[in-house]
Amino acid sequence: MTPAHDFIVVGEGVYRCEVADVGIVLHVDRLRRKSGELWGELTVTCSLAGAHRLNDEDVISAADLNFSSVRARQDRASLLSKRSRFPEHDWFGSVEYFCQRTIQAERVGQPSVLLRDVRKPAPDLTWTVHGLPIVKRQPMILFGDGGAGKSTLALSIAGTLAQQGIPGLYCDWETDEAEHRQKLEELFGDTMPDVRYVRCASPLIHEVDRLRREILVHGIEYIVVDSAGVACSGAPEAAESANEFFRGLRQLHVGALVLAHVTKSEGGEHRPFGSVFWGNNARSTWFVKRSDADGDAGQMTLALWHRKSNSGPLLSPRGLRLRFGEDQIEIRPTDLTDSEQFAPTLPLWQRMKGQLSPGPMTLEALAEEIGAKPDSVKKVVDRSQHRKDPMFTRVVGADGQTRISLVARRFA
């Protein structure tokens, strides 16, 4: 009797066939079209005694196969018969079945669904680390000049998520595991969280299968890509490179924090590589800038501006201070209104909030301190008082003078 074949869809473009009671498994990934023909990397394992194995995982063959060629299928079946030392098995039948089912699955693709039948997404779509909302299931980009602390911040985010039970994978195109290991210990001390690391050399689109296996084997829920420019197969500012990068990222089916750089072109500080394609493909983007006043090598002040959001309004700028001690890195939120460089770039309400933190001020004094027109300050206060949860209010002091104040209950 012909043994039963169990065809399994492992994931997008990944299929498996188990031959019952024989100990034979056929697995394919790296599927792609070449001149109209379907090619893939076919790996065959056989647990039968006497089989010629390539390693401890019972692999007897692993090589590209033209799934569209009958001759190629016949040749591979003949090879497998010899490698397995089990000519009694119908190897051509198994290879033919697997190839036909794979071709059919690729042709049919994922079926359409009624949107009303799709399960609702979880209401909480982000994690919060260092005051930053980290998108759970979509790509998010941190971009800025080199030396702005993006890699340190990204590793800290991955480590913090790992501490919360969210397995992460750091995909690195730029440095090596020793440097990141040292940095992880400086960030978290002896109790380093379980952050997996993989060194990448090829463009992301060619690393997808390897990364997908890491994600499946280790239950990875979040990855860091360091960095996008090196992970592209072409010039990162080109539309084709950006779109190809995100096609590869989408196949991993996990959230991703992508590190990217800026260009000197117009709009460089508003979009990664100055390209609308990077901004449009990401769900959220943050521009990171290091303070020019960081003369002390022992600390670094970062300002982060929210440039793109698909899930709600743009958030207010964030400030972070990185302190570098002996074998230790500490990351803490910082008030950007205290920075001579960043304060003038903040929204008016945020500058007012920072200035009023010590206590109420007259309209004229507040406007002078933050370099704004009194009428502009007055409009912000008026709009605030008409909101359900106001930020500013007017109070009358013992001297009978009206001053602008923060609403105490909001910042208690």
pLDDT digits (tens), the chain, 412 positions? 568 999 999 877 889 999 988 899 999 988 888 898 999 999 999 998 889 988 777 999 999 999 999 999 999 999 999 999 999 999 999 999 999 999 999 988 777 889 998 888 777 689 999 999 999 989 999 999 988 999 999 999 999 999 999 999 999 999 999 999 999 999 999 999 999 999 999 999 889 888 988 998 899 999 999 999 999 989 998 998 999 999 899 989 999 999 999 887 666 788 899 888 998 899 999 999 999 877 666 889 999 999 999 878 899 999 999 999 888 999 999 999 888 899 888 999 999 998 998 999 999 999 999 989 999 999 999 999 888 889 999 999 889 999 999 997 544 3
Q: What pLDDT was estimated at residue 33?
A: 85
CA separation for the pair 41, 64 (Å, rounded) = 4
CA separation for the pair 190, 249 (Å, rounded) = 33
What single DSSP character describes residue 139? Answer: E
The two structure tokens encoding residue 187: 């960030």
Q: Which fold has domain 347-411?
A: Arc Repressor Mutant, subunit A (1.10.10)
Sign (positive or negative) of CA dihedral 223, 26, 106, 236? positive
Strand 139-144 with 255-260, pairing: parallel
The two structure tokens encoding residue 291: 């303070």
Of 299, 317, 247, the residue nearest 277 (C-alpha)? 247
Do 238 and 228 form a contact (C-beta atoms < 8 A)? no
* Strands of the sheet with 59-66, listed across from one edge: 5-11, 14-19, 24-34, 37-46, 59-66
Would you call the peptide bond into 227 cis, given omega within 30 degrees of 0 as the criterion?
yes
Q: What pLDDT was estimated at residue 101?
A: 95
Architecture of the domain spanning 126-338: 3-Layer(aba) Sandwich (3.40)
Q: What pLDDT was estimated at residue 62?
A: 93
CA separation for the pair 154, 194 (Å, rounded) = 15
Q: What pLDDT was estimated at residue 206?
A: 87
Of 63, 64, 65, 53, the residue nearest 24 (C-alpha)? 53
